[in-house]
Structure 1
């Protein structure tokens, strides 16, 4: 486990195309560069034998602990990579004073639902995510 460096950004973006479900408006070089520059510890990488095995973004804004882009290389799933990434993210949150983690999980991603549930996370049906793309 280690935080991503600017030199990892291209590799991470390629990895997400292979291992992550769906895309985000920030899944580009500019978006990930801003993340790493603003919070160098937020993008956590898991490596195995020198290759990227998984990622998670553990963002903390001083109020909430947000988890994004939990992704594990398909051939390494169900081998503890996601659990280790979440443990690292939760440790980071505790060290920063966070009290509860929340995760963005696609409604249709049943595999992710099982993984998040196994890690102790559950949906809160009383909330909906509202978004608005910002012109730029």
Structure 2
């Protein structure tokens, strides 16, 4: 897959990333707006990793590291480009980033109803931990 380019998102790409997620990602979050994406990139310029093919955004993953945990979000690939190794390339880039900062384990947020995503994470070597549940409280 030599024509696949893996790179970090730029601050001026927030709208493009949001448009991509509408086509390729499952579910939404209260942070799915230009301000949220721009703040992510400003706080951690290496967190939002993108995949491009022929200048077209075809994949994304957020590889967030807070000094304690390695968290993975928004692994998404355009439906027309799935099953071509793009998610594997994105995860390899995320895992390389985590290893460079001393991360010891990656945690992925995966929607319970998204069986396709669960299969993709499992095939990438990630294991489901049923003894944890996510607790949330919106601040806005």
Q: What interval of TM-score do these two structures reach, taking the shorter chain for normalisation?
A: over 0.9
User: Where does structure 2 lack aligned partners over 5 or more consecutive residues?
Assistant: 1-5
Report what 1:104 is aligned to: 109
Report what 1:55 is aligned to: 60
Match of 2:88 among 77, 83, 92: 83
Residue deviations 1:36-81 (CA, integer Å, cap 9, x gap):
0000000000000111010000000000000000000100000000
Q: TM-score, normalised by structure 1?
A: 0.98
Match of 1:127 among 121, 125, 132: 132
Q: TM-score, normalised by structure 2?
A: 0.95
Report what 1:14 is aligned to: 19
Deviation, structure 1 residue 35: 0.1
Deviation, structure 1 residue 123: 1.0
User: Where does structure 1 lack aligned partners over 5 or more consecutive residues?
Assistant: none
What secondary structure sits across from 1:69 in the alignment? Answer: strand
CA RMSD in angstroms comes to: 0.6
Number of residues paired by the alignment?
Answer: 135
